[in-house]
Each structure stands twice: as C-alpha cells, then as structure tokens.
Amino acid sequence: MFVHPGVNAWATEKSFKLRPPHLVSARLTYHRRAAKLPPVMSRRNIDLSHVIEDGLITYKGLPAPIICDFLSREQSRKHYAPGTEFQIGKIEMVANTGTYLDSPFHRYEHGKDLSELELTSLANLEGKVVRANGDGRSAIDTAALNEIDAAGKAVLIHTGWAAHWRTDQYFEGHPFLTKDAAQFLADEGAALVGIDSYNIDDTADLARPAHSILLGAGIPIVEHMCNLEQLPDNGFRFFAVPVKVKGMGTFPVRAFAIVE
C-alpha cells in the first residue's frame, strides 16, 4: 500500500484492519488535512443510454435490430475442453438504433465519419444541461439557451420525452431545436449537442436545419438519450464514444456522465 509522506506509518494496511472503520476514516481525514492533500471526491456514473434489444424500434420506418447467436454455447462445446464454452453473438441493425451519435458524414459527403472524429470531441467533455421540459411547447428556441455558456461544452437538452420511449407517442409531436437555437449553439462553439427526444429536428421540416447547422459546424449530435433528469445542470463530465468505423456517419453509443 502506498503511504503519502505526509501520512505517518500508522496509516498502513495492517493497522487499518486493527481499528474500527469510523476511527480509520477520522484518522485518514486528519492526516489528509495535515498533508494538505485534496479531499477525496465521491463520483457517480449516470447511464444516459437506452438498452438495445432484439425487435427494438428506435425510429419509425427503420427496421428493428435482429440479435441472435452466431455460435451458441451448446455449439461451442465441441471445440473446447469439457466444461469450457463460449457464446459469439450476431447483430443485424441499421446504425440509427438506440442512443446513437451523428457525425458530420451523416449529413455531408465530405464531413468527418466515425473513424475521423477526435476523442476530444466525444469524451471527458464538460457538460451542461438545458431544462426544456414542461413548457408545453415542441419547439425549443434560443430563449431556452440564452443563459448558458456553451463554448467547448457538451450541451444536453432535457425535454423529458424519454418517458415515452417504446410507445407510439414517442414518434409524434416530439420536442426539437429550432434553426435559430441550433445556430446559437454553433456560434457559441458547443463541442457536442445531445437531446432525449425522437429527433433534434422537427421531422416535418425536410431541410433538417438543426442537423445541417450543427454537423456543418463539426458538432456531433447524440439523439434518443435518457436519464437527463438525474444530472445536475453542470459540474459533470460527458462521454459518448462510438465504434471507430470507416465510411459510417452514425452508430450507437453508451453515453454516460461522471458526476462529482
């Protein structure tokens, strides 16, 4: 066990086992203060992604994934020693399944695809939540964004629409960003924009202005998020890293946040 120079020999693994837990905690706190060490921070991981299951419909009109065995455990037994078995799964799906990330290539032929995105645009981003739920409107305009500092941040739009996931209501009348709101986030230099809704655009607008503006500015988009109500408005780090695939513009992610 490593012992910081400012912590005396009392704080050893053996001595920990000989003292009640509350005395150990109090003693360590005393020595951390004496050595001027930073306080130990508690962290929580918040999962912001939906589960992908066989038969899941994410987007109306797109096929559901087919998830099955390529090699079952039973089939594998003949290849290994007695008592040893493995499963190799197979999945057939479109890229826009579950909680997924859009890269610029999704919208623009010469935009960056999944393999070309920098990790700095996807991982360990300072996060900011915009609360746009409960106002009774579908369109989220700049009025909801004017008070935020978006520069270099993952801006996550919390609409509450994830409550309708896997219901027919999820596909109709969903909240979305207006063209002006998307332009505001692009002008402010957001690093990434996410939303817990069916689409970041109004699906009735075939020009898809939010996608066009944000991806045109090189800003990745994460759609179909969930659990944003569990996040604080700020003070967290955000991660949404897809598989590094050449020639694809979208792919599911395990989006999550680390909250101090």
Number of CB atoms found within 10 A of residue 183's CB: 17
For 122, residues 6+ apart whose C-beta sits below 8 A from its C-beta are 101, 192, 220, 239, 240, 241, 242
Residue 141, CA distances (Å) to 127, 131, 170, 234 in order: 20, 12, 21, 20
Helix (H, G, I), strand (E, B) or coil at 44: strand
Q: Do the bridges between strand 154-158 and strand 192-195 make them parallel or antiparallel, or are there none, so unpaired?
A: parallel
Q: Of 55-69, 134-148, 153-167, 218-232, which range is least confident?
A: 134-148
Q: For residue 42, what pLDDT is reported?
A: 84
Q: What is the pTM of this model?
A: 0.84
What tens digit of pLDDT does each residue of 143-181 get? 999 889 999 999 999 999 999 999 999 999 999 999 999
Mean pLDDT, the chain, as a whole number?
Answer: 89
Domains within the chain, CATH numbers bracketed: 1-40 (no CATH), 100-259 (3.50.30.50)
- The pLDDT, as a whole number, for residue 126 is 98
What would the pLDDT profile of 172-222 be if each residue is shown by its tens digit? 999 999 999 999 999 999 999 999 999 999 999 999 999 999 999 999 999
For the chain, the distance separating the N- and C-terminal CA atoms, rounded to the nearest angstrom, is: 25
So what's the pLDDT on residue 23? 52
- What's the whole-number mean pLDDT along residues 11-15? 45
Closest C-alpha to 231, from 133, 131, 137: 131
